[in-house]
Structure formats: C-alpha cells, structure tokens
Structure 1
Amino acid sequence: MKFGFFDDKNREYVINTPETPYPWINYLGNEKFFSLMSNTAGGYAFHTDARLRRITRYRYNDVPLDNNGRYFYIKDGRSVWNPGWKPMRTKLDSYECRHGFGYTKFNSSKNDLRAELLFFVPNGEDAEVQMVTLTNESKKDKSVSLVSFVEWCLWNALDDCTNFQRNFSIGEVEVLDGAIYHKTEYRERRNHFAFYSVNSAPDGFDTDRETFLGLYNDYDSPVTVMKGKSGNSVADGWAPVASHRINIDLKPGESKTLIFLLGYIENADSRKFIAKPEQGLMQTNPALKAINKTKAKKLQERFSTKAQVMKAFKELGAYWDDLLSSFTLKTEDEKLDRMAVWNQYQCIVTYNFARSASYFESGIGRGIGFRDTSQDMLGVVHQIPKRARIRLYDVAATQFEDGSAYHQFQPLTKRGNADIGSNFNDDPLWLILGVSGYVRETGDKAFLKEMVPFDNDESNRATMFEHLRRSFRFTTKRIGPHGLPLIGRADWNDCLNLNCFSTDPNDS
C-alpha cells in the first residue's frame, strides 16, 4: 500500500492518509528550539536539551501510538475533529500532511470546512509558529469553535515521568490576555519559562488538564470541547496544560487565520519579576510575584500577523536553499537526485538532534553521543563548517586525559553524562575521523592547534592534535591475545557488550 509520495518541486513528502504503518516524524528547528512533529500532529518541543529543557509532554510506548502533541479541536455543530486526525480520529473528508525542510503542513476538511495548518520554527527564534486557517466551503453560514491544546512538561523529562509525589504539587501558570505562561519552579530555581499564545482574544481557556479533559476522559473526548465551553481553569499543581477557545463565525467562502506561538524565554536573575502584576492577570497564587514578560511580548508581537509569519517562512526556505547550494546533483535518475537532496536534509537534522531525541529515542536516557556526533560531522561539514567545528570542540572537551571519553554528553551543560559513563573502547577513534574530515573539507589546520580541555577542566588543556594522539593510543594500548583491540561496552555495535561483562578478554 502506498501512503504518500515525494513532491520534488516543493521539496516535500506528501502523506495522504493519517493511518501510516508508524507515525512519520519531521524535525523542526535549526539552532536551540526544536520540535518533533508527526503526521498526526503528535510530538513535543524542547529547548537545547530534550531531557533537561523539555517544554511539552509526550508519552513514548503509549497506547494508542503517538499520544500527545499540538492538537487543534474543531467543533462544527455535532461534529468534532482534528486537522491532523488524532486524537479524535474522526473520519475526514480529506487529509493531507506535507513534511518539508524545517516545517510541516496539514490540509484537511470535514463537512465543507477546510483547515490548513503550518508549523515551523523560525530561524533565530526560540518559538514554534502554528498558523491555522479555517475556510467555509459550504453555501451556508457556519459557527464553529477552535480549541488548542498542549500539555506542559515540568522541564526535566526524566523527573517529569517518575517523581509524581513532588510534581503533582509544583505546577504553576499565569494567564494574561491571549497568552498562557508556564512558570513551574521559576520562582525557586529557574530562569526560564514557556508560553503558548494566540493573536486573538480567546473566548475561553484552560490550564488544568483534569478540567480540560475530565478526570477519566482521554484526549479523544475532552469534556470542555464536547460541551462547547471552556472551564477557564488556573492550574495549581497536578498537570498544567495550555488551551485556548476561539469561537468563529464564517460566511460562505470566508476564511479566518489565527496564529499560535509556543515559546521559550530566559531572564537574567535581576530581571525575573515585575514590581506589580498586570491588570487582569490570573495566576496560581495571586500573592506571588508576576514574571517579567517583556521578552515574551516582543516575541509574540513579531509573529502577530500573517504577513510576519509568511516572511519568516520565506526566510526559512531561503536558509535551506543556501545550505543545499553547497552540493547539487543532476543525473538522469530522479530517485538518485532526490536522495542527494533529502540526504543532506537528514544529515542536518542528525546534527541538530544528534540522535538524542526521535520517535525511538526518548531524549531522556542519553544526550549527544561521542562517536555518533563525530560520525555525523562528515555529512554536514560542507554545509555548516563553523557549527561542525564548535561541535567537534565540545566532543573533544569531554575526553579524559588517558584518551578515553564519556560515551555521551548533555547538550545543555556540554558535560559528560556520568549516568552512562565511559569504557567504550571505540569511542576515541571516531574523534579522529570527525576532525580529520573537517580539516580535509575546510583546510582549517589551525584547528589542530586549538587548546581543548580534558573533561571540561579549563585548567587542564592540550591541543586538539594531542587529543587525537591520545585517542589513537588509548585503543592501540588495549590489545587482546590476537593483537586486535579489546571490545569494551557496545563497541562498534550497540549490542556487543563482551569485555565489560566477562573476565575473559575478547578481541574486536
């Protein structure tokens, strides 16, 4: 069965049924703000680190598949449906998802009402733009409601799904105008918060999951959506969410466009709060100080109109045009030409996410892999040489003096992941491959003289070349009885764990 096709002209993969064999994921973002987006609008967003700065919740290995995401519920009379099909799974009259380079589009319809959605992360911004356009294709007036929904993650994704006795007590929000602010732990120990806004005055809202869904309801039967009335809830602990209700009247042929923004803000400690809460502010505890929203409001203003959104979307396209111009292929085989384009996109995505977050990697149990990202540099150095240089420096900085290394490091702290540790005997060799590939492509021999710390200790540094020399000697000094390198933990193949679980040394 065929589930979609490549649109080579627009550089998009077009999916024409929501019931794919597995959720098909796109990866949005190029710098610090990243999103996973499935063909049914499932997925989540994070800033820099999928474990330590998770913005929205997502439930891996759940039933049904691909639960939780950025959902828009449309109530048109008795019919309730989602443009991405899930979670309502209402049979749609038409459905189309287009995964493009750094963006995803949906175009669906039900009962002569068309919904067009655009999701993307603008370059240079810590936000995901969600533009929704509803069009009445019938010959009669329509009165519909559009209800948005995201569920906040309490930042540390591992703690969020394990430490319930604490997490059920700490959730905090603020609500002001068309924006819902998630500020859990901001007062105590964080300098960052998230927000979910809309560029229109909402007719209702919810920030408490139980109020929005009903205690025993699933995402396919939220009580506030089915009843047509929001609870206007202000969360206090438990499970904070963000939902807006917009009631829309459409004449035949008329369209309405709304812009939702999922954003992340950091404030200096001296500028975390404002002296006096804004008029009309609602928050978990009225006695608490209100967060400083200056940066958030400016970000919301930059994407308050369709023209602003389309300008940023055009700039995203130009960014990818520039990246892909470094290497082009034109042959008589359209599939080969297509692969040369999409492979480069995949390589950039792999650089950005470093396999730390995907549909099969939860973003919790690992950070950036030492050997993984060293290999990945070979695929992107011709496109983003400056960023490749920075990543290789970060990799080498987690190395130990004896040439060994942490198997992974966290992208937020850039420090080795002690939970995973070391003793992967092949890891150090991949740094040699990555750096040599970078130097061959760029001619930047000065990089070999760059001073790089061991284990992020700035008082203990050596040249990059010395790091490579120690990488080589670490492996060649650990030889088995047949003169081959010893296998350590998951060397060369993640399933090989011989020497670390046995007293009998084994060769590679």
Structure 2
Amino acid sequence: MRSFKALGDFDQQAREFVITDPHTPRPWINYISNGEYAGVVSQTGGGFSWYLDPNQHRINRWAPANYLNDRPGRYIYIRDPETKEVSSGTYAPVNLGERYECRHGLGYSKIKNRYNGIQTTTTFFVPEKERMEIWAVEVKNTTRSPRTVEVYPFLEWHLGVWETELVVRNLTVLMNEGYFNDRLQAIWVSKFPLGNKPWPFHAYFASSLPVEGYDVDYESFIGPAGDYAHPAALAGKGCTNSRVRGGNMVGALKHTLTIPAGETKYFTVLMGLAEQEDEALATIAKYREPAAAEEAFRQTKRMWRSLMDRVMIDTPDADLNNFVNASLKYQVAMNNHWGRSATYYHEGHGEFGFRNTAQDAWGFLPLDSDYARERMILLAKHQRNTGQPMAGWSYVTGTNEGKAPADFPVWLPLLVSAYVKETGDFKILEKVIPYYDGGSDTLYQHVCKAMQFLQDRAKSERGLPLMGTQDWNDAFDRTGIGGKGESVWLGMGLCLGLKMLEELAQQLGDQPTVEECRQRYDAMRSLINQYAWAGDRYVYAFNDKGEPVGSPVNVEGNCQLNSQTWAILAGIPDAEQLPKVLHHIDHTLATPYGPVLFAPPYTKYNADLGRITAFAPGTKENAAIFIHGGAFKIMMDYSLGRAEEAYKTMRQIIPNASDKDIDIYKAEPYVFPEYVVGPGNPRYGEGAFTWLTGSADWFFIAVIQKMLGVQPSFDGLRIDPCIPAAWPEARISRRFRGARYDIRILNPDHVSRGVREIKVDGELLKGDVLPIFRDHSVHSIEVILGVG
C-alpha cells in the first residue's frame, strides 16, 4: 500500500496541499475563482477557464477526456537559445524536471519546476472583481554563471459555447479571428457570430515583458501533429508571428531573459476578457505593473483566509483537522460558485440547479451568511406561484423552464430554517419576493407553498409523492416518467421539510400552520409505513407499473441506503422497525470505503428504472459508494447519538485517510469525490468525479454541528457534542452573530455524549444555549462532558 503522502501532504499553516511528485495517478486540480471568472488548474498546469457560465463563455480549450491526459493547459515553455532544448516551467507538457513542487492554496496554485539550472515558479490566481487571471512568473538562474533563456507563455483558445464546439468544431473554428494588437501589445482574439448570436467578448493574452514574437495559429506553433510536448515552432526558429481568420487558435508569446547568476526575473502573464479594446488596455496596463499584481495576490489570499478562518477545529484526529480546516471549506465555497458544472469530470453545462444551490448555501452559512442570503432569495425567485421550483438557471442564458426534478421543493425549507437559526434574522421571512411566473409573496409563504406543492399537486392516487423525471437520485430517470411512479424517499424528505416548516411556524406564532404540518406529517408517515415498509427495510420507490424499487422481491438493487437513512432522519420507523433498518445500514450496505448507495448493483439495463441500470456496476448511482449518501448516513447516526458509527464512516470516506492506498484511490486526497467505485467493479476503491459535490456541504455541517455539537438554533448556539469516547478533548472556534466563540470540549469520563456543565468566560451557564453577544469580541467557552 502507498499513502498519498508519497506524492504530497497538507501544509496546515499555509492552508495548502503541497504536491511533490508531478506523476499523480489522476490530475490533482484546484480552482481559482472570484465567483464570476474562474479556472481549473492541475498540478502540472493543465486546465481551462471561463466567465459566468462554463458552457457559454469558455475561454481556453479543454477536452472531455482531460481527466486522463491533462492536456492542454496554461504553460510556460523555456528554451535554451544555444542548445534549443525545451522544458516547461509547469513541468508539463514537456515533462522534464529535476526539482518540482505544486502548492494548491485557497484561491491560487503555485507550481515550481527546476531544470538545467533554471527554476520557474508560476502562481495562478484570479483577482477580486476582475474577469481575468494572472500568472505571476519568477524565473531564477540557480547556476553560478549568467544565463540567457527564451520564455514562451502559452495557451490554446476555445472562445464561446463549449457544447457547440464539441459537436461542430470543424465549423466553429472558421469563425475565429486572432492577431497581435500593436496598441495593446497583446494577442487579441474573437469569434464571429454563430447562428446570428455574437459572442460578446474579445479575449487577450499579454505579458509585462517586451514581446519579441508571437503566434496565434495552432499549426504554426504546435504543428499539425498536435504534440504539446514538442511544439514545431520551438524545434525551429521560434514564433512565426502568425495570425488567424478561420482556424484553430493559440496564444504564444516570446520573451528573452538574461539572468545573472543566482538572480530572479519576475513578470506577469495576463489572460482575460473585455468587451472593448479600451477596457482591455486599462486592465493590461494595471497588472503589467508588478506591484499591482502582487497586491492583487495579497488581497486574494487575505479574502480567502478571512473567510476560511470563520470556523476552525482542533481534534485528536489530525487527518480530519487537515481536511476540514482548509480544503473542505474551500470545496464548499466552490460548490457555491459553480454548482455542479465545470470540473475535469463533469460536462460544464453552466446551469445552477435548485437542489444543489440550496444545499450549497446551507453548507456555506457558517462561513458567509450574507452570500447564503443572496442565494436563498435567488432560489425563491426561481419558484412558480404554485410552489414548484424551476429546473435551473444560468447567469448567461437565464432560467431553464423545463420540468424540475420532483425533490426540488424539499430544499427551500432546509435553507430558510438554517439561515434564520444562523443569523437570528426573522425579518427575512417577511421579505416579499416575486415568483418566476407572476405574483409575489413573503419568503415564509414561499416555503409554505413549496411544501403544499409536494403535498397537494405532486402526489399519486395513494398519496405518496410522484417521482416524475427523477428525485434526488437523478439516475432513476425513467422510474416515474409515465406520471405514476412514486418516490418513497421523497415522502421522507417531505416529512423532514414539514418538521422544519413547523419549527418556523412555531416561532412566528402561526398555529394553524403548526397544526397542519403535524397532521400532514402524521399522514405521510402512516402512508410510508403502510405502502413502503417491506418487513425489514423501506422501499425506495415504485415505478410506473407499481413495482417496488429497493424491496426484497427485487433481484438487484433490493436494499437502498437513502430510504433507510432518511426514514430515520424523518422519524418514520418505530421501535420495532429501527433495529432492522440499522442492520441493513451497518451490514448489508457496508464496505471498507463507506456505505454503498444500494446493493446489489444492477447488471442488466431496465427501461422501467432508467440510466442507473446502464452505468457499470459500482459506478455513479449504480451501487457506488456515493459520498453524499455516506454523509446522509453520518447525519442519521448523530440523530441517534451513534458517535462511534458516525466517526467510523467519517474515517472511511475522508479523502486523506492515512489507510487509503493512493494507487487504488487515485483521486485528490484533499477534496471529496462524488463517489468511490463500489464492489462488483474491477476499479473498486477508486475515487471519481471530484470537487463539485454536495457531499462537502453535508460533511462540513456534520462535523461542526453534530460531532462537535455547536448547533445554531433560533435562540443561540446550542451545545450538544457527540464525539468518539476515546477523545479526551476537542476544540472548535467559530463566528456567530457578531462574536467569536472559542469552544473547548473536555471529556474526562470518556463518554460520547452528555453535557455536564458549560462555562462562558469562566461563569457557569444554566442550560445548553450560549448567550448571543454581538460585541465583536472573543468569548471562551468550556464544555465538560460526563454523567451527573
């Protein structure tokens, strides 16, 4: 077994993951983003960038198989003018290096590579409130003699709609135009209208160094064979000063540096978008100045550090600390910036979905409640006046008016309830927000209507929620396509949503809604137990033919994780049913990597269920170890006070667990994948589809609110830790309603749960809810667990 530490490790103080070997089993990537402009950067410079929507405004090229070949990217070619030997400052694509390091940080990636006495360090980042990125480059002569080298910053342009280019690239490249703009002293590229729809931007590629040569034509620089490791231009005389009108485009600039022994030359490379030439001129002029670029980098680091520092943990588990204190929170932030599109694995469609946005904002609440508030209001605006949410939206193309997945209404109560508990802002419930299709209502009524839609408009003849095109499990996409299929899981989600709405109504003194929620909850719980209890487990769904999914009568997929965990979260099983449900969770569905989404996997295609049965066994939703499902399971464990079982699953699913074999796991050890390949597949244990997954949101909340027990409530922070009994103590520091709470949890009796006493600034507290200070001060909290 080989640990990930053979390839890199966390630098906790710097909040970076440091990769020391470029030959990772998969590209290990990072995001550079300000929420509007973003890029993905691999450990060797691979990746791509976009603005607002990764489908509509893709800037540089990326191929769907990029997670395997990691080409192309952002490169700095280095050529010795005497020997003509070529290397790369980012290691790839030439793949020559004697000393290498990549530091993936919060909002930046820094790649250092030394070869033949020349060390290049390139820091990639996106300044705040700009639609561009900066490559801050340092070239150091590590020898004892002066050196002259040629430096060639390089990228390959895409420009515009990514999906269209994939299908008809032979046509779309004929709309390209690019040349060297003398006024800007930069490469200036654009795309002529496609379907009478102009692409609204020009893109530029500039440097702070004098430009001695350039290329825009792909074949002139790379060559017809398309070998990034051996560009044709660098095998010859260098750049050819080519331009393009109708062809594949690159950006390549030539600079010559003469560097005294032991000294370093610094310059910036600038890539971005502008609507007009004057806009580009101002931005390029600003960041050609080293001081401006350096200050922008400092601001980026300060902003991210300030945000991430709002919650910090310190437990006896160093792996958990490393993961939570930096990369997990940053993963939650990137979920909020980009939903589920634009990774090395996902297609980059560019839309935000209602479910994902709600979960992401919920997970981000402890870090940035103002941002979460904006997303919450945006979600309410994307709701019809019936209470049904819209399918999704893009910053560029607007709202998707297609049919939304059936579960979308469940997620608004989750976010609104959590927001009020986090902030204490009850007035937000009175805010009048328009519906997408006309009319308006208070936010509170938006929540009420979401629940009413599920109960009254989207139910079957038996009273269970209709599956529609899909519920949370998108891959059951034919299970209810005929309009009769039922989602039992969604009935459980409805019960949970009703509990949250009941809480809100109670706080507002809305007694009729309180009573209605209780009655409807009891009715749905009864229906679920009547139709979906299969003797020892809960059925997940019924297809259009009325056949059960996740039942003992099924040969495949007969035990489903989510319908067991959510049943418990919603309080569905009674005392006799609960042990049977837990037995399946703890045994039938258990693996060393965490629980599978269901068992056994589907091996034959079933048109009555959908694409879930087309996926290879153990991949995606077909019985993979879906990390989101594992996070649901952890939350369920904590709801029952099962500290040891929850912690065991945490250790199984965290990406940096010290007992993971990185040659099997392959994926980044610092962020969650969407899933780990499950049993029944030869790739069992491999992480896949990393970064943009709601698993990060749920896990983050589970750690800080359930394990460490610091729970926002309407009245303040409620303290109820549920930690492994072996832990002698743990700490958490977090901001809450205008103050910082430094909380130390002591466990002298080695129990898992049960608060014996709480002291606030040395004074004994009555009860378990901390005072609300709003004084912008730090308050010391001591929590002692134990009996008595």
Asked if the contact 2:146–2:259 (Cα under 8 Å) also holds between the matched residues in 1, the reply is: yes
Specify the alignment match of 1:444 in structure 2: 425
In the TM superposition, what is the alpha-carbon distance from 1:17 to its structure 2 partner? 1.2
What's the offset of the Cα at 1:430? 0.8
In the alignment, is the contact (CA less than 8 A) between 2:66 and 2:344 conserved in 1? Answer: no
**Does residue 409 of structure 2 align to residue 432 of structure 1?**
no
Q: Tell me the CA shift for residue 168 of structure 1.
A: 2.6
Give per-residue Cα distances to partners, 1:2-50, cap 9 Å, x unaligned: 2110001111000111111111110111231111111111111111111
Q: Give the CA deviation at 1:225.
A: 1.8
Question: Any gaps of 5 or more consecutive residues in structure 2?
Answer: 489-788
Q: 1:124 aligns with which of 120, 126, 129?
A: 129
Letter in 2 for 1:205: Y
| Contact 1:348–1:380 under 8 Å retained in 2 | yes
Query: How much has 1:499 moved relative to structure 2?
Result: 3.5
What amino acid is the match of 2:464?
Answer: L
Choose which of 459, 462, 473 in structure 1 pairs with 2:452: 473
Find the counterpart in structure 2 of residue 273 from structure 1.
Answer: none
Instruction: Name the residue aligned to 2:26.
Output: 22
Partner residue of 1:318 out of 298, 302, 321: 302
Q: Secondary structure at the match of 2:410?
A: helix
Which residue of structure 2 aligns with residue 244 of structure 1? Answer: 253
Deviation at 1:82, TM superposition (A): 1.5
Cα 1:202–1:351 change in 2 (3 A) is: same
**Aligned partners of 1:487 and 1:498 also within 8 Å:** no
Q: Deviations over 1:94-137 (max 9, x none)?
A: 11110000000011111111111111111122211101111111
Q: Is the 8 A contact 2:470 2:479 kept in 1?
A: no
Whole-angstrom CA distance in 2 between matches of 1:444 and 1:398: 22
SS of equivalent to 2:445 = helix
Aligned residues: 476
Give the 3 Å change call, closer, same or farther, for CA 368–136 of structure 1 in structure 2: same
The residue aligned with 2:476 is 496
What amino acid is the match of 1:231? T
**Equivalent-residue separation in structure 2 for 1:168 and 1:317 (angstroms):** 38
**1:185 counterpart = 2:192:** yes
**Counterpart residue type for residue 79 of structure 1:** E
Residue 220 of structure 1: which of 203, 226, 229 is its match?
229
Residue aligning to 1:345? 330
- Distance, in Å, in 1 between the alignment partners of 2:385 and 2:343 is 32
Higher mean C-alpha displacement, 256-265 vs 464-473: 464-473
Aligned to 1:278: none
Alignment match, 2:440: 461
TM-score, structure 1 as length reference: 0.88
Once the two structures are TM-superposed, the CA of residue 394 in structure 1 deviates from its matched residue by 2.0
Per-residue deviation, residues 157-193 of structure 1 (Å, max 9, x unmatched): 1122223353132112242243111222389734422
Cα contact 2:18–2:103 (8 A) shared by 1: yes
Secondary structure, in 3 states, of the residue corresponding to 1:35? strand
CA distance in 1, matches of 2:225, 2:67: 15
Please tell me the residue identity of whatever aligns with 1:494.
D
Q: Describe the SS at the equivalent of 2:174.
A: coil
1:33 aligns with 2:33: no
Name structure 1 gaps, 5 residues minimum.
267-291
Q: Is 1:416 paired with 2:399?
A: yes
Write 1 or 2 for the structure with the bigger share of helix.
Answer: 2
> Kindly tell me: are residues 498 and 473 of structure 1, through their superposed partners in 2, closer, same or farther at Cα, counting changes over 3 Å?
farther
Cα distance between partner residues in 1 of 2:20 and 2:375: 38
Bigger drift between 135-144 and 200-209 goes to: 135-144
Quote the residue 2:636 is aligned against: none
Contact 1:55 1:154 in 2 (8 A): yes
Alpha-carbon distance between aligned partners in 1 of 2:155 and 2:399, rounded to the nearest angstrom: 32
Q: Show the counterpart of 1:286.
A: none
Q: Which amino acid aligns with 2:330?
A: Y
Opposite residue 274 of structure 2, the aligned amino acid is I
**Equivalent AA in structure 2 for residue 34 of structure 1:** A
> Aligned to 2:86, which of 72, 80, 93?
80
Specify the alignment match of 2:178 in structure 1.
173
Q: Percent identity?
A: 29
The answer (yes or no) to whether the contact 1:377–1:438 under 8 Å persists in 2 is no
User: 1:442-481: per-residue Cα shift (whole Å, max 9, x none)?
Assistant: 22223223333333x5x53333222222211222233346
Partner of residue 277 from structure 2, selected from 270, 273, 293: 293
Residue 22 of structure 2 aligns with an amino acid whose one-letter code is P
C-alpha distance in 2 between matches for 1:167 and 1:126: 24
CA contact (8 A) 1:439 1:445 kept: yes
| TM-superposed deviation, 1:494 | 2.4
CA displacement at 1:498 relative to structure 2: 4.3
2:160 and 2:199 in contact (8 A); partners too: no
Q: 1:28-83 CA deviation, whole Å, 9 max, x = no partner? A: 11231111111111111111111111111111215951111111111123421222
TM-score, normalised with respect to structure 2: 0.58
CA contact (8 A) 1:94 1:110 kept: yes
Counterpart CA distance in 1 for 2:239 and 2:84 is: 17
